[in-house]
Amino acid sequence: MIELTWPQVSARRLARAGLTAPMRAEPAEAVAAMCGAHAQVMSAAEASIGLRLDGVTRTGVRAAVGEGLVKTHGPRGTVHLLPARDLPLWVAAMSSIPYADRAPASIRMTPEQIEQVIAAIRDAVAGAELTIDELSEAVVAATGPWAGELVMPAFQGWWPRWRQVMGPAAHRGAFVFGAGRGRKVTYTAAPLATGPAADGAAWLVRAYLRAYGPATPAQFAQWAGGPVTWAAEAFRRVEPAEVRLEGQRAWLLAGDTELPDEPPRGVRLLPYFDAYVVAGRPRELLYAGAAAERALAGGQAGNFPVLLVDGQVSGVWHQRRKGRTMDVTVEPLRDLTPAQARELDEQVQRLGVVMEAAPRLTIGTVTVGAHA
């Protein structure tokens, strides 16, 4: 039985995430290594990807969307950027998760209605790029007035009933996000290659364990947004190797147990919902001490941009942009050595390059609350 320490695992994950040294690769390669980049906040996705790459700015990331990258619903039903080449595998993986309808009974759709809506979405975006209003009109026309009933609370209004299955529809490959029409979001057909059906869930376990192992089926289930029974079955199909992480059972891929020789070193800034912290478990090891209270929101990771020091979450930060200037406030939760303070300044400058802005660093309290 291999016994692993948290510093060993942290160093391994950082290296594989492109956070030890920037990758000399295309955006799609970095996103593949991350197992997807959370893109609900697009500027955060641009930072996540750009900070992992050598010589790529937000412009380069934007140019890759629609080329090497696609925007769609990924793990947990949240919006992600995924490598276009892997989209069929992601669809196979996400569509294998049993659908759990958590909507109130008063607005819930029957299985037959769900199938009708997904088919209507797929037909509507074939050869087209539609705004949400245009897509809604097409779905209601194809299914019936019940689909258009305004029953879903949303921001300051109500959404039509059919929109509750946007996530499952994307997981089935019915659509991806389009290029947009001005400020309006658009939806279009997913670029899915035809071929033999893949074991998507097993493929996703392998990708996840390569990036974030060692891990347990329960941790994989939380990350993917599926039940533990589904995750455990997927684990059984990849021949995992059992290890001990700080005395607790976990798994790596058989034959993929190498570890870096050195413990984690360095200072890094990670933006909202960065894949490294969202997938990073056990939380109590990554968010040790004061970080558990300051940098998590109800136990959830990603709601604060974080400062990593030697692989540990050691602070939070926030940036406010005005024109070409970007004010970056960093709130460390530990004393930084002079060398770490210099590296933090270098990381802020690098963030400025990636985001194409002139950064100004302030060390102080971050007053902005958690992102919803």
Q: Is the pLDDT of residue 36 over 80?
A: yes
- Rounded to two decimals, the pTM is 0.95
Distance CA 211, CA 221 (A): 15
CA dihedral in degrees (41, 60, 204, 217; nearest 10)?
A: -40
DSSP 8-state code for residue 138: H
The long-range contacts involving 164-170, CB below 8 angstroms and separated by at least 24 positions, are 164/103, 164/107, 164/109, 165/109, 165/114, 165/117, 165/118, 166/73, 167/73, 167/77, 168/77, 168/99, 168/114, 168/118, 169/117, 169/118, 169/121, 169/122, 170/72, 170/73, 170/94
Share the mean pLDDT of the chain.
95
- Between residues 22 and 156, which one has the greater pLDDT? 22
E strands within the chain? 2-4, 37-38, 69-73, 79-83, 129-131, 150-154, 157-160, 176-177, 186-188, 240-245, 248-253, 267-270, 306-309, 312-322, 325-332, 358-363
Q: pLDDT confidence of 100, banded at 50, 70, 90?
A: confident
pLDDT in tens, 200-242: 999 999 999 999 999 999 999 999 999 999 999 999 999 899 9
Residues whose CB falls within 8 Å of the CB of residue 63, separated by 6 or more in sequence, listed in order: none
Distance CA 342, CA 347 (A): 9
269, two tokens: 């800034």
Q: Is the pLDDT of residue 196 over 70?
A: no
Q: Where are the domains of the chain?
A: 2-188, 267-363
- Would you state the pLDDT for residue 93? 97
